[in-house]
Chain A
C-alpha cells in the first residue's frame, strides 16, 4: 500500500468502526514513516467527518458513530507516542482549555476535538462535561490558557456559552482569552451574536481556527 492508499483506508476503517483494523493501519502509518499528523487529518478526522455527516442526515445510527469514535481513539493510541516524540522538539502552539458547558453531558464530539488539538501541537486541558461557567474561568486563569473552547450539544445549554463570555467581560478579562464554540446546534451566527472569537464545525475546523487565532496573538 502506498501512502494515499493507507490514508484512504484509515478514513474508511474509522467510518466502518472496525477498531482492530484501525490499529493495524495506524501501525502501518508508523512503519511507513508517514507523518502521523497527516494521517490524523487526511485519514482519521476525514473518516469522522464523513460518518458525522451521515449521522446528521439519518443515514447512520448512533452506534455506528460511537464505533467510529472508538476506532478513531484506537488509531490515536498508536499514533500518539510518535507525535509525543516529535512534539518534544517542537515549540507548543498554545494552551487550550476545552469542556462541555453547564447542564450538558455530551462528550463524543468534544473528546475528538480535544484529541486532535492535542496531537496538532497544542497543550490541551479537557475539563469533561457539565462545567459551571465560573469553574471554566477559574481553570483558564489557573493554567493560563490561550483559548477556551466550549461545547454545547443542546440548544437548551447554548446560553451557557454566552454566560462564560459575559462573565469574562464582567470580570474584565475577556481580552485575555480567545473563546471558541462548537457542538451540534451551534452555528456561526450564534458565535457572532454572543461575541465568540470563532466557531468550528469539525475537529479539523477547530485546528485551523485555533492556529489562525494564535497567529493573531503573535
Chain B
C-alpha cells in the first residue's frame, strides 16, 4: 500500500483510458512507468450520458499529482462532453470513437469506413470482455431472454451490418482473435475482413507528440464540447 501511495504522489502524466484499449496501450507502453494509466470499465459508451461524470471523477482524483491528463477515449457518442481538467492541461484524441485509435489515425478510419459503413470491428479488448456480437449474445442476451429472443435481438440489432472486421495490429493473441472473428462472421452470416492496424496512436497517447491534427489541447478549466471535434 505504501508504495502505491508513494507512486500516486509522483508527478507524472496520467492517462485515463477505456479498458478496451488496454492490450494496445500496454504493448505501446512496453513496461514504462513514466506515465500512470488508469483503465475504466469497458462498455461505458453504451450509456454516454453517464460517461462524463465517471471520467470527471478520475480526473479530479489525479488532479493533485498529474503533470498533464491524457484521455484514451474518442468522443464516444458525446460521452466526453462536459469533461474538464481544472488544474492541468487536458489532451484528448481528436476522433469520434476508438476505432480510429486502433487503425492509427482518424484519416485512416474515414478511408476504411467509407467502403463498408456496416462493419463491426473487433480487437483483442473487444473480444476479451465479451463485447463482440457472439459474446454479447452468449453472455448478456442468452441468460436474460432465452435462445429465441436472444438470437432475434442480436440479428435484429445488426441487421444492416454486412462485415466483421478484425483489426490486426500484430498483437500476440491474433490467432485466437482471428478464430473468434471468423466465428462471429459465420454466426451472423457476414463477410469477414481483416484490416491492418498499428500502435502509433497509442504510442502518441503515451509519449506524444500531441499534434493538433490528432489531439485536442484544452487549457486548465476548459471544457470538452462536441463542436471541438468538427
Judge whether B22 is part of the interface by a CB distance below 8 angstroms.
no
Q: Chain B residues with Cβ under 8 A from A209's Cβ?
A: none
Known: A57-B47, A63-B141, A189-B227. A154 touches B157 (CB 8 A): no
Number of interface residues of B (CB under 8 A): 31
Would you list which residues of chain B between 151 and 188 have a CB under 8 Å from chain A?
152-153, 156-157, 159-161
Taking a contact as CB atoms under 8 Å apart, the answer to whether B160 and A190 are in contact is no
Q: Chain B residues with Cβ under 8 A from A67's Cβ?
A: 149, 153
Would you list which residues of chain A between 61 and 75 have a CB under 8 Å from chain B?
61-63, 66-67, 70
Taking a contact as CB atoms under 8 Å apart, the answer to whether A130 and B118 are in contact is yes
Would you list which residues of chain A between 142 and 158 have a CB under 8 Å from chain B?
154-156, 158
Q: Chain A residues with Cβ under 8 A from B159's Cβ?
A: 107
What 1/0 mask marks residues of chain A from 157 to 192 whose CB sits below 8 Å from any chain B CB?
A: 011000000000000000000000000110101100
Contact residue among B77, B150, B161 (Cβ-Cβ distance under 8 Å from A105): B161
Q: Chain B residues with Cβ under 8 A from A218's Cβ?
A: none
Number of interface residues of A (CB under 8 A): 28
Q: Chain B residues with Cβ under 8 A from A102's Cβ?
A: 117
Judge whether B6 is part of the interface by a CB distance below 8 angstroms.
no
A158 to B230, CA, bound (A): 9
A124 to B147, CA, bound (A): 36
Q: Chain A residues with Cβ under 8 A from B145's Cβ?
A: 63
Name B's A-contacting residues (CB within 8 A).
46-50, 75, 77-78, 96-97, 113-114, 117-118, 140-141, 144-145, 149-150, 152-153, 156-157, 159-161, 226-227, 229-230
Can you list 9 A-B pairs, Cβ within 8 angstroms, ordered by A?
A: A56-B49, A58-B50, A62-B157, A103-B114, A105-B117, A105-B118, A154-B96, A155-B96, A189-B227
Name A's B-contacting residues (CB within 8 A).
56-58, 61-63, 66-67, 70, 102-107, 129-130, 154-156, 158-159, 184-185, 187, 189-190, 193
